[in-house]
Amino acid sequence: MALDPQLTATLVCPVCKGAIVWDAEKSLLVCPRCKLAFEVKDNIPNMIPDEAKKLSDEEAEEYAKRLSIVRGA
């Protein structure tokens, strides 16, 4: 499933307002800082923090690396 790149560029984490990473393979929008993964169904992101999947430290670190690569850091 593909989300519009303009949409993913404007979305931020609802908890910390930080940048998120789009994981197309798993249909998740991920905030590495908060260690939360928000599910996307039928191209609609569920950005409700209480319904997000909690990530392990290792998973969050992997997504943080992806975010660094995308941002050119």
pLDDT (tens digit, 9 = 90+) per residue, 6-60? 777 789 999 999 999 999 999 999 999 999 999 999 888 999 999 999 999 999 9
**pTM higher than the cut 0.75:** yes
DSSP string, 14-45: TTT--B-EEETTTTEEEETTTTEEEEEETTEE
CA distance 38 to 54: 9
Contact (Cβ atoms closer than 8 angstroms) between residue 30 and residue 21: yes
Instruction: Give 21's strand partners.
Output: 30
Q: Which pLDDT tens digit goes with each residue over 57-72?
A: 999 999 999 888 765 5
